[in-house]
Each structure stands twice: as structure tokens, then as C-alpha cells.
């Protein structure tokens, strides 16, 4: 009886109206990978928003996780980006479970999405958080073990750690954890499953040791707000290393469900507590957490792009002390991102000149953290102008303060149009008149800008820095 009800529930979810979202298919380890990205209403890339990775359970998918957890509603109010990634064969490689193992690099896949969020949306990678339901919660623990310096905090729900992950887990530092488990969970048993994962109390003790917290937690029973047959007991571990926080929520009579969510399983997987909201509790825990400054390095500065041909650019940046490797991301106007890695501070790239592109550069810190700059426009195709060939042009002085002079190749032309864009690809207001080939930029803020000069037939591009 359980399976038909579960399938019916998935079917009903599929009929629901979709919210604002972006569906992606990327490639990782030479196989297609799916994800849903939710940007909060009125999103602006200049906000530098945090990222929440919200992972589905075994045999469900990204769409199910989106609909079941409803975390997008939280994202609208608290202003964060939510990524709902999807596992291969609807599972995650968090270790061996019932003698089944995998070679899928899900840690790398999730790290790839962190970098995409930085390039596409200027996400703040100091504030990356991982949460997940069931197998997605197991995967959150895996991230805490294997990518400690890429996540600021995790919130696994109805999850544990499989034995081989537990035995090999060596987190790079103490890490913030808020975990949620039901005492009557029929799937992720609170007392564990022999040969697969230990009881939840052992998991609490494992992280108490890793986080160097006090042995005895502060225990309090939260208010019983709803008559739903459940109560919530919170265990707060104190005096943890590096000022991290470790909290466990035990739901008395709670099942294999998302606290505060709709009872879509009709109690087949146990009771859903309404005394707390997983979304609210997790976000309130996340919102003050950052990856420590000690494990972050500086992002590359003075990013420069020089057009060498219509389909080629030379990208440059200043060297960062102590950094030996850099990562470059180039995104087109369909949100496709191409990554490059190099040990140099310059790289030549070929592009599709018919697409509007932006790019970014990151320092690959020795700690494992990726420190990205702000994405900036690489080339432009203004509305109504067909650009067949873009040539390089000079401006002076550069850097500049209040005025620049254009080295216009065809002095006799009088129908030049000038467009100036900031690092986010937004057109900036400047005078289109060119007395003496000069442009007044006094009203522009300090920063890097791209300039396009066109008369409908000939097109020239350059960049300048206002000091």
C-alpha cells in the first residue's frame, strides 16, 4: 500500500503550478546532470546573495524537493539563491549503502554548481549552505567531510552517515551543523541499521568530538505549539572550536519527513511535526555563518579583457600572493558556463561572437576555498545592432577620472554611437555627442567599464577604468 500512495503523491506534485525557476542540464564526469535554480523575486546580481543547496532523497528528484520543502518561499523573504541539484539515478554518492557503492563524484558536481552560481549570479561563496532530505542529508554530511572549506554550515534532515563515510571523514576544520531526526523514523532508523549506519546519538557524538564541543549538551524541549502527536527536543553543544555551533533536533514520534511541511505521505512515513519549521530553523541557523577568513584567500584583481579578434579574447589579472592556480568562468546569455583552469595570470579564449558573454576569475585557495571576483561583461550585442566584426580601439587616459578621448579609426564619420556598460552588463548613461572625440564620464562610479563604438557597419570595443 505504501508504494501506490507514494507514486500518487509524486503525480499530484507534477500537476502543481510551477514557481519562478530555471531548469538546467549541465555535464559532469561526461554525463548529463540536472538541477533547478531558484532566484528570489526581483533578483539583482549586485546583491551578492548566499546560496542554499537543497538536496532530494533517494528515488525522488529535484522537482520533488522543490515542491515538498517549499524553500523557495523562504528564499523570497530572506534573499538567497536556492540550488536543487539532482543525483544520478536519483541517489547521491555519500558512501556505500546496503553494499551498493558509486563512482559518481557528487562532491565535485556540487562544487561545480557553487562556481556556476558565482559566475552567473555573483553569489557570495563565503555563505554556501547545504541542506537535504534523507539521502540528500547524508550527502550534506559528505560535503562537511570532504569539502569542509566550501560550505559554511549544513542542515541534514532525517539523515545519518554511512559507515565508510564516517570512518574516512576528516573535516578540515570544525563546521556548523543543525541536524533534524525523527525518533520514530521508519527509514533512517534513529538507532541505526547494522552494517550501514550507526544510531543518531553516535552521529551527534562523532561531530561533538570533531567540533571539539563540550561533551554534555544543553537540552531543552521546545513549545508544543500544535496538537500533532509530536514534541521537539533540542540539543545544543556548547564551547565548540572556532566558535562554530552544533545543534540537534530530536522529534519525538517524528517520522521520515520534513518538519513543518505538508503531510503529503499521510503518515505512512511517520508524523510530521508542526511545532517547528525546518525551513525557518535552518535559515535562522545559516544566516550568520560564513566560511572563516583564515581559509579564504584573495580574489584576483584588475581583471582585464582584450579583444584580439572577433572570436578571441586575451584575459588578464594580477597575481595573488600564495595562489598557484586560477579558475576562469565564461557565461553566455543562455546561462551556459565554460570553465578553464590555469597556473598563469593570463589566458586566451575563443568565444561565439554572436552571444553576449560575461566572465569571472577565481583564486583556487590552498584550503580548497574558491575566491571569485565580480562577473563582468566580455562582449556586447546591443539591441537593434548586428555586429559582424568587433575590432580593438584605444582610449586615453586610462585609468581616467572625468573624461576620456576615443582614438576613432575613421575620423570623417559622424554617425558613431557610443555605449558604455558596467561589470554587470548594464548600460550606463553617457553623452553620445563626441566633440573632439571626448566623452564625459564624471557621473560614473569608480570601477571597470566596457565601451562599444559602432556606426552600423564598423564596430570597435575597448575597456577603461575610472579611478
CATH of domain 298-377: 2.60.40.10
pLDDT of residue 16: 35
> 63-90 burial string, b = 16+ CB within 10 Å, else e?
bbbbbbbbbbebbbebebbbbbbbbbee
Angle, helices 71-78/278-286, rounded to nearest 10 degrees = 40
In this structure, what C-alpha cell is assigned to residue 232? Answer: 521537539
CA dist., res. 452 & res. 161, Å (int): 54
Q: Is 115 helix (H, G, I), strand (E, B) or coil?
A: helix
92 CB-side CA count, 13 A: 33
Residue ranges of the chain with per-residue pLDDT less than 50: 1-19, 381-388, 412
Given a contact cutoff of 8 angstroms between Cβ atoms, the answer to whether 131 and 52 are in contact is yes
Distances (CA, A) of 333 to 32, 373, 378: 20, 19, 11
Going by their DSSP bridges, the two strands 417-421 and 447-454 should be labelled as antiparallel
pLDDT in the model for residue 331: 96
SS3 59: coil
Contacts of 319 (CB under 8 A, 6+ apart): 345
Is 2-294's fold the same as 298-377's? no
Tens of pLDDT, residues 358-416: 999 999 999 999 999 999 999 864 443 444 455 667 788 888 888 888 877 655 455 67
Provide the CA 205 distance to its chain's centre, in angstroms: 30
Q: 391-466, superfamily in CATH?
A: Immunoglobulins (2.60.40.10)
What predicted TM-score, i.e. pTM, was given to this entire model? 0.80
pLDDT at 412: 47
* Cα distances (Å, whole numbers) of residue 224 to 228, 263, 276: 9, 18, 9
pLDDT (0 to 100) of residue 368: 98
Nearest CA among 34, 70, 64 for reference residue 52: 70
pLDDT for 428 equals 80
Q: Which CATH number fits domain 2-294: 3.40.50.1820, 3.30.230.10, 3.30.200.20, 3.40.250.10?
A: 3.40.50.1820
Which grid cell is 388? 559582424
Q: Write down the domain spans for the chain.
A: 2-294, 298-377, 391-466
Amino acid at each position: 500500500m505504501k508504494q501506490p500512495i507514494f507514486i500518487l503523491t509524486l503525480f499530484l506534485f507534477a500537476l502543481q503550478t510551477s514557481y519562478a525557476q530555471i531548469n538546467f542540464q549541465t555535464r559532469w564526469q561526461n554525463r548529463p546532470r540536472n538541477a533547478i535554480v531558484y532566484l528570489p523575486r526581483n533578483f539583482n546580481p549586485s546583491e551578492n546573495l548566499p546560496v542554499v543547496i537543497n538536496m532530494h532523497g533517494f528515488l525522488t528528484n529535484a522537482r520533488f524537493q522543490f515542491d515538498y520543502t517549499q524553500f523557495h518561499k523562504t528564499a523570497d523573504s530572506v534573499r538567497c539563491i536556492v540550488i536543487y541539484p539532482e543525483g544520478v539515478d536519483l541517489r547521491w554518492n555519500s558512501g556505500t549503502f546496503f553494499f551498493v557503492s558509486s563512482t559518481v563524484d557528487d562532491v565535485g558536481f556540487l562544487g561545480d554548481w557553487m562556481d556556476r552560481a558565482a559566475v552567473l549570479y555573483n553569489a557570495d561563496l563565503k555563505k554556501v549552505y547545504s541542506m537535504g532530505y534523507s539521502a540528500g542529508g547524508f550527502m550534506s554530511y559528505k560535503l562537511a567531510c570532504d569539502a569542509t572549506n566550501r560550505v559554511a554550515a549544513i542542515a541534514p534532515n532525517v539523515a545519518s552517515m554511512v559507515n565508510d563515510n564516517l570512518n574516512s571523514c576528516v573535516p578540515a576544520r570544525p563546521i556548523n551543523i543543525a541536524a533534524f531526526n525523527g525518533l520514530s523514523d521508519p527509514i533512517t532508523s534513529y538507532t541505526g541499521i547494522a552494517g550501514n549506519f550507526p544510531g543518531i546519538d553516535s552521529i551527534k557524538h562523532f561531530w561533538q568530538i570533531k567540533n571539539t564541543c563540550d561533551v554534555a549538551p544543553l537540552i531543552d524541549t521546545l513549545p508544543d505549539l500544535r496538537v500533532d502527536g509530536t514534541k521537539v527536543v533540542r540539543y545544543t553543544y556548547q564551547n565548540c572550536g572556532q566558535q562554530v555551533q552544533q545543534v540537534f533536533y530530536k522529534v519525538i514520534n517524528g517520522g521520515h519527513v520534513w518538519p513543518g511541511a505538508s503531510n503529503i505521505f499521510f503518515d505512512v512515513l511517520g508524523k510530521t511535526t508542526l511545532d517547528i519549521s525546518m525551513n525557518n530553523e535552518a535559515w535562522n541557523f545559516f544566516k550568520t555563518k560564513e566560511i572563516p577568513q583564515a581559509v579564504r584567500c584573495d580574489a584576483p584583481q584588475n581583471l582585464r579583457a582584450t579583444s584580439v579578434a572577433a572570436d578571441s579574447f586575451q584575459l588578464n589579472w594580477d597575481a595573488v600572493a600564495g595562489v598557484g592556480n586560477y579558475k576562469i568562468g565564461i557565461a553566455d546569455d543562455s546561462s551556459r558556463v565554460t570553465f578553464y583552469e590555469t597556473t598563469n595570470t593570463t589566458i586566451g579564449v575563443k568565444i561565439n561572437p554572436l552571444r553576449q558573454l560575461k566572465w569571472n576569475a577565481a583564486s583556487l585557495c590552498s584550503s580548497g576555498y574558491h575566491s571569485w571576483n565580480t562577473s563582468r561583461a566580455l562582449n556586447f550585442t546591443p539591441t537593434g545592432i548586428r555586429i559582424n566584426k568587433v575590432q580593438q580601439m584605444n582610449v586615453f587616459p586610462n585609468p581616467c577620472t572625468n573624461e576620456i578621448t576615443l582614438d576613432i579609426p575613421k575620423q570623417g564619420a559622424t554617425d558613431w554611437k557610443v555605449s558604455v556598460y558596467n561589470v554587470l552588463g548594464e548600460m550606463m548613461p553617457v553623452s553620445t555627442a563626441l566633440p573632439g572625440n571626448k566623452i564625459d564620464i564624471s557621473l560614473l562610479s569608480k570601477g571597470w567599464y566596457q565601451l562599444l563604438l559602432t556606426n552600423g557597419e564598423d564596430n570597435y570595443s575597448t575597456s577603461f577604468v575610472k579611478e
